[in-house]
């Protein structure tokens, strides 16, 4: 074996050592889930389309299959197939300025296009506006398109602490949600079953939080780009045993990596925080770029949105109502800044990269102020890049990559002067 072949062999081994093994288990889990959901179409199983931030636990408790158009949208984006789906919706009069998840989903509903031939037809819809107010307009359209019932779980925006009348409103809607499910499925509400599902959901979200926390270690065992992929089960199927099992396995792997000092990058020079939804169609290129720059995205505001805080209450419906109302995108800028600051300190980051996302106003408007606040509080720089989560027509690769390079090079200059 020549020296070069030897080096290649070593690189390969090293790469294999750094590869996250649980990725395969996740792919199996998600493939099985999608196959089951698709197979259920046309049977007497109920299929509900639900928004990513919506309370899925009642659906699981009632034996309904939850389907997430946003998760599907991310998949279509990563497969570079969302633009053509968006164009279908645009040809029907939907503006290019609307969220590309929504446009792509409407296009996919019409054509059954995308990597898995479209999502199974819903028997009803559940929409929760804790992530944005685009979702209920989108779901109104889906409700008209499929001619199926729509349940809206309306979570009023929280400025400061959660006021009691907000909680009362959300609590009443949880009850209404349960009645709605009883009516649709013809089954009775079983509180013991609901509590069991809710407990699993909280447990899995706790495991997920621990997985993410492993990145506090240097070198970080994964990047947030891995987390974007590995979050699919917690978003889609929390409340099931499979998800608990999967995150237990993932946590074990991450802890082993930490113990053995296995980082995801060959060398980790900088640690960065990511803000906003990923640029799904650009994950591979951006991942490569950050790796080349020896910058590891160790934490982000997106995946940690599914790490619910436990709420102390005797009443499981009220606990769920509180959890779902106080999510990251449904709070004011000061509370968001607190969260960003806390992530920055816990993960000891050198800076923050913010994705100003055309498709997501609640996530993006206010970022300029948050960036300034971040620097004021932590003394670290922030970079804002312009993109769209799945519509690549708005993306200028050369410009974004150039800005990221400059940003990281400046970090080097700063660490030299420091």
**For the chain, how are helix, strand and coil distributed in percent, rounded to 5?**
60, 10, 30
Q: CA-to-CA distance for 255 and 277, rounded, in angstroms?
A: 26
- Give 265-317 as a DSSP string: SSS--EEEEEESS--GGGHHHHHHHHHHTTEEEEEETTGGGG-PPP---S-HH
In angstroms, what is the minimal distance from the CB of 146 to another protein? 14
DSSP per-residue codes, 100-159: HHHHHHHHHHHH--STTSSPPPPSEEEEETTS-SHHHHHHHHHHHHHT--EEEE----BS
Binding residues vs another protein (CB under 8 A): 92-95, 97-99, 102, 129, 132-134, 136-138, 140-141, 144, 152, 154, 156-157, 159, 163, 165-166, 168-169, 172-173, 176, 332-334, 356, 358, 361-362, 364-369, 386
Q: Least Å distance between CB 270 and another protein?
A: 26
Residue 25 C-beta: closest distance to another protein, Å? 36
Q: How far is the CB of 37 from another protein (least distance, A)?
A: 26
Bridge partners, residue 145, by sequence? none
* Nearer of residues 91 and 309 to another protein, judged by Cβ: 91
Closer by beta carbon to another protein, 180 or else 347: 180
* 184/213 with CB nearer another protein: 184
Residues with Cβ within 8 Å of 283's Cβ and at least 6 positions away in sequence, in order, are 78, 225, 228
Cβ atoms of residues 386 and 353 within 8 Å: no
Cβ 375 to another protein, closest distance in Å? Answer: 14
C-beta atoms surrounding 24 within 10 Å: 10
Q: Considering beta carbons, is residue 223 or 364 the nearer one to another protein?
A: 364
Judged by beta carbon, residue 158 or residue 265, the one nearer another protein is 158
Provide, rounded to whole angstroms, the least separation between the CB of residue 94 and another protein.
Answer: 6
- 45 or 137, CB closer to another protein? 137
């Amino acid at each position: 074996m020549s020296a070069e072949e030897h080096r290649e062999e070593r690189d390969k081994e090293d790469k294999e050592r750094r590869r996250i093994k649980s990725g395969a288990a996740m792919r199996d889990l998600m493939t099985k889930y999608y196959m089951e959901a698709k197979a259920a179409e046309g049977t007497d199983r109920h299929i509900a389309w639900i928004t990513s931030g919506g309370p899925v636990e009642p659906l699981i408790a009632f034996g309904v299959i939850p389907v997430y158009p946003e998760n599907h949208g991310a998949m279509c984006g990563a497969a570079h197939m969302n633009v053509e789906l968006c164009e279908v919706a645009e040809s029907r009069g939907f503006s290019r300025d609307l969220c590309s998840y929504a446009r792509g989903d409407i296009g996919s509903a019409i054509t059954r296009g995308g990597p898995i031939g479209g999502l199974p037809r819903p028997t009803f819809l559940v929409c929760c506006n804790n992530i944005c107010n685009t979702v209920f307009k989108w779901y109104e359209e889906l409700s008209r398109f499929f001619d199926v019932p729509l349940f809206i779980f309306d979570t009023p925006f929280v400025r400061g602490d959660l006021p009691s009348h907000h909680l009362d409103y959300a609590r009443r809607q949880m009850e209404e949600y349960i009645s709605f499910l009883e009516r649709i499925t013809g089954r009775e509400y079983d509180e013991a079953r609901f509590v069991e599902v809710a407990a699993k959901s909280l447990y899995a979200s706790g495991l997920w939080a621990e997985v993410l926390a492993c990145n506090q270690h240097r070198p970080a065992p994964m990047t947030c780009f891995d987390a974007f992929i590995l979050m699919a089960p917690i978003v889609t199927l929390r409340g099931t045993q499979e998800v608990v099992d999967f995150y237990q396995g993932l946590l074990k792997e991450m802890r082993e990596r930490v113990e053995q000092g296995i980082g995801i990058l060959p060398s980790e020079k900088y640690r960065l925080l990511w803000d906003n939804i990923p640029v799904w169609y650009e994950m591979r290129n951006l991942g490569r770029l950050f790796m080349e720059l020896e910058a590891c995205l160790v934490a982000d505001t997106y995946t940690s949105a599914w790490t619910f805080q436990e709420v102390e209450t005797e009443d499981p419906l009220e606990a769920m109502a509180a959890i779902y109302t106080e999510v990251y995108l449904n709070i004011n800028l000061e509370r968001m800044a607190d969260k960003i600051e806390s992530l920055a300190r816990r993960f000891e980051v050198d800076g923050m990269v913010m994705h100003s996302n055309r498709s997501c106003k609640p996530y993006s408007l206010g970022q300029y102020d948050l960036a300034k606040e971040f620097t004021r509080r932590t003394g670290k720089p922030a970079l804002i890049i312009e993109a769209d989560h799945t519509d690549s027509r708005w993306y200028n690769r050369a410009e974004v990559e150039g800005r990221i390079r400059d940003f990281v090079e400046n970090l080097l200059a700063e660490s030299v002067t420091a």
